């Protein structure tokens, strides 16, 4: 059995841990036994060793193993899918989410907007490729409708944009530093629909991610990126701040502030830039979304080969923005770590 020590970036076996502790016990014993003769010390050590082999060593093993497994379970439960951390080769994370979202307000001026409602099923996954590299991506199936005061309500259902990317972890100590490159692909819907499920263009995003374990007080993360939008809409600055905490090996909590800031370079003379039929995809906007999640991992989580199923509930709220609808939603998710 092996254990990873994030602080030192090393992998230790249980035997090595026990050897170090037993050596410490022997050293302390020698320090207290200077007054005794060498023969007496040897006899005492032999006696202790014999006793430990019969009774103390199994107890010590169980105690140390329990502490190590509990500690690692807490860290892994907290950081299982935190942004900067890259899973080891063959390990990964998947989530299927079911979300309901509604909006009846608008950041900025839009006297014609009435209401927007949407339900969606989403999939997110990441998989470790080895050598500190992982692939990740998401796809969304949505059912949306939008109404205004001057036009007939419109609706749409089907797949939305696909996002797929690569993330590389550069360092793990004294903090985790990673970079990612992502592409957005609009190939699963018709951008000319009455209520399109995306803006119909390819995007490319580069991001730098930071993470730091605060064990036993959880972890923090921060991300900063730039999204290049290939057609009329404005490029975007992307940012995210995250905190997560595990109450035990099963129950955890995390919260995020996920932000978008328009660069301000939208092509206002393009026909594409004035197609605001779906107010989620206006050509230039700012938006900040607060996300609060509580999750539960099933099972003890002591055997990584078996993986773990889990469940999450997430509340998200658009707390600030400009030129974009203002709403909130609730998502229920099924997770799997392996």
pLDDT in tens, 289-320: 999 999 999 988 777 678 999 999 999 999 99
Asked whether residue 207 carries a pLDDT value surpassing 80, the answer given is: yes
Asked whether residue 202 carries a pLDDT value surpassing 50, the answer given is: yes
In terms of Cα–Cα distance, which of 230, 317, 324, 235 is closest to 285? Answer: 324
Fold type of domain 86-337 = Lipocalin (2.40.128)
What pLDDT is stored for residue 325 in this prediction?
Answer: 95
* Cα(149)–Cα(153) distance, integer angstroms: 9
**In this predicted model, what pLDDT tens digit does every residue of 128-142 receive, in sequence order?**
999 999 999 999 999
The mean pLDDT value for 74-92 works out to 71
Q: How close are the terminal C-alpha atoms of the chain, in Å?
A: 17
Asked whether residue 55 carries a pLDDT value surpassing 50, the answer given is: no
**What stretch(es) of the chain map to CATH 2.40.128.130?**
86-337
What pLDDT is stored for residue 30 in this prediction?
Answer: 35
Angle between helix 38-51 and 14-32 (nearest 10):
140
Asked whether 259 and 288 are in contact (CB, 8 A), the reply is yes
Asked whether residue 269 carries a pLDDT value surpassing 80, the answer given is: no
The mean pLDDT value for 333-337 works out to 97
> What is the dihedral angle through the alpha carbons of 64, 66, 69, 71, rounded to the nearest 10 degrees?
-80
Residue % of the chain over a pLDDT of 70: 73
What pLDDT is stored for residue 69 in this prediction?
Answer: 31
3-state SS, residue 232 = coil
The mean pLDDT value for 237-248 works out to 98
């Amino acid at each position: 059995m092996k254990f990873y020590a994030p602080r030192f970036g090393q992998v230790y076996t249980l035997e090595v841990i026990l050897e170090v502790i037993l050596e410490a016990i022997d050293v302390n014993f020698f320090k207290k036994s200077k007054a005794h003769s060498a023969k007496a010390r040897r006899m005492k050590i032999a006696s202790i060793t014999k006793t430990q082999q019969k009774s103390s060593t199994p107890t010590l093993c169980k105690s140390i193993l329990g502490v190590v497994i509990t500690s690692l379970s807490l860290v892994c439960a907290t950081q299982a899918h935190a942004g900067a951390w890259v899973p080891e080769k063959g390990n990964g994370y998947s989530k299927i989410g079911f979300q309901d979202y509604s909006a009846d307000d608008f950041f900025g001026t839009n006297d014609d907007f009435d209401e927007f409602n949407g339900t969606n099923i989403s999939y997110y996954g990441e998989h470790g490729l080895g050598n500190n590299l992982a692939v990740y991506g998401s796809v969304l199936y949505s059912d949306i409708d939008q109404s205004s005061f001057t036009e007939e309500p419109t609706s749409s259902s089907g797949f939305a944009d696909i996002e797929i990317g690569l993330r590389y972890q550069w360092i793990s100590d004294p903090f985790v530093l990673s970079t990612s490159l992502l592409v957005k692909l609009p190939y699963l819907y018709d951008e000319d629909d009455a209520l399109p499920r995306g803006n119909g263009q390819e995007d490319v995003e580069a991001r730098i991610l930071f993470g730091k374990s605060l064990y036993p007080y959880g972890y923090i993360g921060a991300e900063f990126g730039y999204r290049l939008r290939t057609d009329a809409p404005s490029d975007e600055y992307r940012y995210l701040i995250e905190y997560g905490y595990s109450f035990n090996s099963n129950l955890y909590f995390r919260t995020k502030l996920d932000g978008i800031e328009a660069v301000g370079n939208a092509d206002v003379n393009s026909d594409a830039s004035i197609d605001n039929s779906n107010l989620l995809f206006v050509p230039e906007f700012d938006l900040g979304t607060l996300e609060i999640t509580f999750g539960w991992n099933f099972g003890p989580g002591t055997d990584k080969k078996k993986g773990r199923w889990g469940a999450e509930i997430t509340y998200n709220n658009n707390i600030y923005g400009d030129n974009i609808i203002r709403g909130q939603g609730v998502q229920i998710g099924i997770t799997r770590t392996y």
